Amino acid sequence: MVVTLPKRSPLMILLSEILRKVLMIISKIFDPLRAKLRNKLLERASAPESINLASENDPPVLLLMVYRAKNAQMVKALLRQVNSNADVRLWALDEISSELADQTLGFGPGTRFTNLNKLYNAKPIVEGSWVVLADDDVMFVRGSLTRTISIMRQAGLSLAQPSQSILGWWTFPFNVARPFLVARDSNYVEQGPLLVVDPLFARLILPLPDENDMGWGIEAEWYRAKEGRYRIGVIDDCRVVHCARAGSTTRTALRFAV
């Protein structure tokens, strides 16, 4: 599989920012309709007859997530993406959901990175595990976690995230799914809503920096960690919906986005 890295000029970056603002305005205007479609997608993903897309032949997976009890249904839908042997470690911000109690290792307030690190350091990790960092308000609407990892392995990507559907909230246009593409290189992988790290690269970037409360600038650190040695990117063949608007992010992202 060939994955190319496009070049970006200052003019293209400016045009990308203008496009981002226009698309965000359109997204806000049509969000009542988009919200209805998101709810239908969640109902379908949560249905008892929904197929578990995981395979027992998948590589070892460690999934880390901080969740709020109100999003338990969406978390359960995402957990169908991992096999029964996956190491799922959850942290509850407010209260432990009874439906997620078996996978919840602790609860209480705290910053995202601090709580993710508590989960990461809670117990030994199976050798060769792929690490998944997921928000509690994201779900697959095309492809699966298994397919995301499979494409990453074929493309030689060490850090990647599935593309985002226009039905959800995204930060930059390059995150949005592009038709007719399977995967693409990027100089920037956003810290959410869901990202996947291969075993080697995970050793470089985990645990996360506790002092970085909001995670600002972490994407630039990942860029420096991968430069000249690893490849990072976006998997367009798999698509997720992020159901909540992301907070503001550092403008550093614009410098590295492709």
Q: According to the model, what pLDDT value does residue 206 have?
A: 96
Q: Residue 76, exposed/middle/buried by CB under 10 A (0-12, 13-18, 19+)?
A: middle
Q: How far apart are CA 105 and CA 41, in angstroms?
A: 29
Q: How far apart are CA 61 and CA 127, in angstroms?
A: 10
- Does the pLDDT at position 2 exceed 70? no
**44 domain residue, yes or no:** yes
Residues of the domain holding 185 = 10-256
**3 domain residue, yes or no:** no
- Does the pLDDT at position 61 exceed 90? yes
- Does the pLDDT at position 14 exceed 70? yes
**Amino acid letter for position 44:** R
Tell me the two tokens of residue 137.
């308000």
- Alpha carbon 257 to chain centroid, angstroms: 16
Tell me the two tokens of residue 78.
């995402």
Lowest-confidence segment of 40-44, 219-223, 243-247 by average pLDDT: 243-247
Q: How far apart are CA 146 and CA 165, in angstroms?
A: 18
Per residue in 149-172, pLDDT (tens digit) is: 999 999 999 999 999 998 888 887
Q: According to the model, what pLDDT value does residue 247 have?
A: 53
Q: Are 159 and 226 in contact (CB under 8 A)?
A: yes
- Does the pLDDT at position 3 exceed 80? no
Percentage of the residues of the chain whose pLDDT score is greater than 70: 86
**5 domain residue, yes or no:** no
Counting every residue, how long is the chain? 258
- Is the bond preceding residue 193 a cis peptide, omega within 30 degrees? yes
Q: How far apart are CA 85 and CA 239, in angstroms?
A: 24
- Does the pLDDT at position 115 exceed 60? yes
**178 domain residue, yes or no:** yes
* CATH number, domain containing residue 248: 3.90.550
Per residue in 203-222, pLDDT (tens digit) is: 999 999 987 666 778 999 99
Q: Are 105 and 67 in contact (CB under 8 A)?
A: no
**118 domain residue, yes or no:** yes
**1 domain residue, yes or no:** no
**2 domain residue, yes or no:** no
Q: How many domains does the chain have?
A: 1
Q: Which residues contact 84 (CB under 8 A, 6 or more apart)?
A: 54, 56
- Alpha carbon 49 to chain centroid, angstroms: 25
**125 domain residue, yes or no:** yes
pLDDT band with cut points at 50, 70 and 90 for residue 239? very high
